[in-house]
Amino acid sequence: MTDERLTRTLEEAGADGLISADPGIVRMLTGHFYDIETGPSVFAIPAIAVAVSGAEPMLVCSADEAEASDTAITYEGFTIARIDRVAGARQALASALERTAGAQARWLIDAASLPVGALPELPHARLADGELAGLTAIKTPSEIALIEAAIAVADAGQAAARETALEGATELELWERVREAMEARAGGRIPILADFVAGPRTAQVGGPPSTATIAPGDLLLVDLVPRVAGLWGDSCATFLDADPTEEQRRLHRAACAALELGIGMLRPGTTAGQIDAAVREALAAEGWEYPHHTGHGVGFAWHEEPRIVPGNDVPLAEGMVVALEPGAYASDWGLRVEQVAVVTDGAPRVLSGHDLSLARAG
Amino acid sequence: MTDERLTRTLEEAGADGLISADPGIVRMLTGHFYDIETGPSVFAIPAIAVAVSGAEPMLVCSADEAEASDTAITYEGFTIARIDRVAGARQALASALERTAGAQARWLIDAASLPVGALPELPHARLADGELAGLTAIKTPSEIALIEAAIAVADAGQAAARETALEGATELELWERVREAMEARAGGRIPILADFVAGPRTAQVGGPPSTATIAPGDLLLVDLVPRVAGLWGDSCATFLDADPTEEQRRLHRAACAALELGIGMLRPGTTAGQIDAAVREALAAEGWEYPHHTGHGVGFAWHEEPRIVPGNDVPLAEGMVVALEPGAYASDWGLRVEQVAVVTDGAPRVLSGHDLSLARAG
């Protein structure tokens, strides 16, 4: 069955088909996902989706990855023979093109993801980048369920981060407990993007966990972005063990109110830019500002349309999944809160279940 | 200063310069490395090295990644404005080409790694894949020191895997302790490729840790491949808590003897294929065989030249770093042992410090 999202993207681009090696686009069109944690493999190039309207999308990947797929066109992967992944992929891709719209069709080629050596001669092809940004924005109910499951994994990580006293632990030690809790919930190793910073480092918006020891009164900023079954979740909270300063308390209250305001605006027809403006202004009215986006779509990538940024005139639509993350950063501390919600035909449905409190425990 | 390895590769290819976005090649030529754990970024394409003989290689990357480098040519990364990573990268790359050999030069383009959209018009360029395989094979003393540090991180993981009784734990639970030990040693989050399988799963050569509980008498196969400071280490051991069967004992002895034989052959001039044949035959003489390579170069990638596979006529040379990993796999169990050594002008120097014993604890 053809994916309506694909049909619309191809029509808008005046193209017959799409060739993409973007992991999110491949996941959406073919269901296939693969290890991304260890970088490019000597034995393969990234899996490629070949999709035209009116037919099941095809997958081109190494034989090592294809076990789950009946319809993949494969080339040799892990081998003790000579490695020729590029030629193998190019030949498999040419074969996939033959079985679909052919080499003479008007192919749209994902400019950011397709390795130059994998492309056969395609006289009427055209490179695309920004045009593909909207392709993955709207999610199906089953995709939303998978994103919800990924967010539940993030929730488990947030809960683990609050489980023990902060003081005296290093960021890295706490992080390992958080990762363990998330992977226990997921049932296996998963890729996780994360900000995990304490004390003065919270002023820097984010960063990886370090060996710095958490001091009394330090804030801990925990932003967890796990990929589960090929779909990304997201969540952020900032908390501490001690009594917050009055300024911290006021900012936290303002950030939570701005978040709630933004979540309430996640309705079909509202533009991304309107939400960005409203949330940004709500914090500005309290004297705070943040140097980053107000939020972003999430699911097939950890940051996708609708990007909740100034001036983005993309209108929200039912099925979009949006993370909002207002915060603010002083000279030696900062805080941010984040939830994810899905746009419905009525009120937005919040998928996040984690604690946003400023106090670590109860 | 020009890298001799680059000069030789360019001469052999009849090229003036190289353009590559392979993380290992970029690391070798520019020193730059970056997060690979979370897959492609919306805000950037992979960093690109532009290198000609007789000049310092140039780095093209997003501004987010360039902090460590004075000489990078950058384009906008993380932003609240419109994202245009491909056009940004293409323009930055064109600028890097202007400052080196120019667009008319005979550029060798890494066919597996360069996104098609990043390339400006290069009339005399040529795609290369296999020709680049030897580029990273020989390491400098400072690179060897970094690989040794990565192997020390793997050693820490191997020690952690042996620390507690196996029975009753899940593969995943044990894995988390191993990961924690490795990242504690590394001082931060690192990408880790790993086989971590117990019991009947050891018959499958490898795989990620699962939620399966380890049973009495199960073998645990631990193959750890961490990247530290952009360079990869490697190590493998297989062990159990119970008394091994006579067959397990014999195979373990044979695998260790084959490994020792192979390590002893790591001398300049010996070909990779000769080592593969000798190690493979040593196990065959005992009635065992393995379906994979005997070993591989390691450092800039987790599998690179010299590939220790049948028929590979690449001669070893001083400064090559080689992992050897003979093993064998029965119908419901398997085992493998692995060490890494560096080829010197005399006897090979073993970099691995982990325990290869079949018994978990002394």
Among candidate residues A132, A159, A189, the one where a domain is terminated: A132
- Residue B11's pLDDT band (cuts 50, 70, 90): very high
- Same domain for B307 and B178, yes or no, is yes
Q: Do B109 and A119 touch (CB under 8 A)?
A: no
Q: Is the pLDDT of residue A107 over 90?
A: yes
Q: Is the pLDDT of residue B67 over 90?
A: no
Among candidate residues A132, A167, A188, the one where a domain is terminated: A132
Which of these ranges, A221-225, B65-69, B238-242, has the smallest mean pLDDT?
B65-69
**pLDDT at position A1, please?**
53
The position carrying tokens 């450092």 is: B299
The position carrying tokens 């090295």 is: B49
Cα distance between residue B230 and residue B249, in whole Å: 37
User: Mean pLDDT over residues A226-249, rounded?
Assistant: 97
Q: Is the pLDDT of residue B172 over 60?
A: yes
- ipTM at complex level: 0.97
- Specify whether the CB–CB gap between A175 and A158 falls below 8 A: no
Q: Who contacts A360 (Cβ-Cβ below 8 Å, separation ≥6)?
A: A162, A165, A166, A220, A239, A240, A241
Element (H, E) at A186: helix A171-186
- Specify whether the CB–CB gap between B282 and B272 falls below 8 A: no
- Same domain for A117 and A214, yes or no, is no
- Residue A362's pLDDT band (cuts 50, 70, 90): low
Among candidate residues A80, A111, A132, the one where a domain is terminated: A132
**pLDDT at position A71, please?**
77
**pLDDT at position B66, please?**
86
- Same domain for A183 and A327, yes or no, is yes
Element (H, E) at A160: helix A141-161
Question: Pick from B22, B187, B208: which is nearest to A211 by CB?
Answer: B187
Give tens-digit pLDDT for B200-247: 999 999 999 999 999 999 999 999 999 999 999 999 999 999 999 999
Q: Is the pLDDT of residue B68 over 80?
A: no
Question: Pick from B112, B187, B193: which is nearest to A45 by CB?
Answer: B112
Please tell me if residue B293 touches chain A, with a CB cutoff of 8 Å: yes
Antiparallel, parallel or unpaired: β B58-62 and B73-75: parallel
**pLDDT at position B58, please?**
96
Nearest to A224 by CA among A264, A180, A282, A284: A180
Averaged pLDDT of chain B: 96
**Full DSSP string of B217-260:** T--EEEEEEEEETTEE--EEEEEBSSPPPHHHHHHHHHHHHHHH
Nearest to A69 by CA among A90, A48, A45: A48
Give B-chain residues touching A113 at CB under 8 angstroms.
40, 115
User: Mean pLDDT over residues B148-161, rounded?
Assistant: 98
Give B-chain residues touching A38 at CB under 8 angstroms.
36-37, 191-193, 225, 227, 302
Q: Do B85 and A112 touch (CB under 8 A)?
A: yes
Cα distance between residue A223 and residue A214, in whole Å: 17
Nearest-CA distance B245 → chain A (Å): 30
Nearest-CA distance B1 → chain A (Å): 28
- Same domain for B174 and B69, yes or no, is no
**pLDDT at position A360, please?**
97
B66 vs A345, higher pLDDT: A345
Q: Do B117 and A111 touch (CB under 8 A)?
A: yes
Question: Looking only at Cα atoms, what is the longest distance across chain B?
Answer: 68
Number of domains in chain A: 2
Per-residue tokens: A347: 């009120």
CATH number of the domain bearing residue A89: 3.40.350.10
Q: Is the pLDDT of residue A175 over 80?
A: yes
Q: What share of chain A is helix, strand, coil (3-state, %, to 5)?
A: 35, 20, 45
- Same domain for B198 and B147, yes or no, is yes
A107, A116, A135: best mutation site toward chain B, by most B Cβ within 10 Å?
A: A116
**pLDDT at position B337, please?**
98
- Same domain for A126 and A34, yes or no, is yes
Q: Does A355 reside within a domain?
A: no
Please tell me if residue B36 touches chain A, with a CB cutoff of 8 Å: yes
Element (H, E) at A155: helix A141-161
CATH number of the domain bearing residue A212: 3.90.230.10
Please tell me if residue A70 touches chain B, with a CB cutoff of 8 Å: no
**pLDDT at position A291, please?**
96
Cα distance between residue A128 and residue A265, in whole Å: 31
Is the torsion defined by CA of A121, A122, A126, A131 positive or negative?
A: negative
User: Mean pLDDT over residues A87-96, rounded?
Assistant: 97
Q: Where are the alpha helices (DSSP H) in chain B?
A: 4-13, 23-30, 85-98, 141-161, 171-186, 246-264, 272-284
Cα distance between residue B103 and residue A255, in whole Å: 50
Give tens-digit pLDDT for B22-57: 999 999 999 999 999 999 999 999 999 999 998 999
State which residues form the domain around B167: 141-350
**pLDDT at position A67, please?**
72
Using only C-alpha atoms, chain A has a radius of gyration, in whole angstroms, of: 22
Q: Who contacts A142 (Cβ-Cβ below 8 Å, separation ≥6)?
A: none
**Full DSSP string of B76-123:** --S-SS---HHHHHHHHHHHHHHTTT-TTS-EEEETTTSBGGG----T
Q: Do A113 and B115 touch (CB under 8 A)?
A: yes
Give tens-digit pLDDT for B69-102: 667 999 999 999 999 999 999 999 999 999 999 9
- Same domain for B102 and B164, yes or no, is no
**pLDDT at position B70, please?**
67
Per-residue tokens: B171: 């593969």
User: Mean pLDDT over residues B326-332, rounded?
Assistant: 96
- Same domain for B117 and B145, yes or no, is no
**Full DSSP string of A85-117:** HHHHHHHHHHHHHHTTT-TTS-EEEETTTSBGG
- Residue A68's pLDDT band (cuts 50, 70, 90): low
Give tens-digit pLDDT for A142-155: 999 999 999 999 99
- Asked whether the bond before A244 is cis by omega within 30 degrees of 0, the reply is no
Give B-chain residues touching A40 at CB under 8 angstroms.
22-23, 112-113
Report residue A249 CA to chain centroid gap.
30
Give A-chain residues touching B80 at CB under 8 angstroms.
292-293, 309-310
Please tell me if residue A1 touches chain B, with a CB cutoff of 8 Å: no
- Same domain for A145 and A53, yes or no, is no
Residues 212-251, chain B, touching A (beta carbon < 8 A): 225, 227
- Residue B157's pLDDT band (cuts 50, 70, 90): very high
Give A-chain residues touching B179 at CB under 8 angstroms.
176, 179
Q: Does B78 reside within a domain?
A: yes
User: Mean pLDDT over residues A282-310, rounded?
Assistant: 98
What phi and psi values does residue B19 have, to the nearest 5 degrees?
-120, 120
User: Mean pLDDT over residues B182-189, rounded?
Assistant: 98
- Residue B129's pLDDT band (cuts 50, 70, 90): confident
Per-residue tokens: B34: 């970056």
Please tell me if residue B184 touches chain A, with a CB cutoff of 8 Å: yes
B43, closest residue in chain A (CA to CA): A303
- Same domain for B125 and B145, yes or no, is no
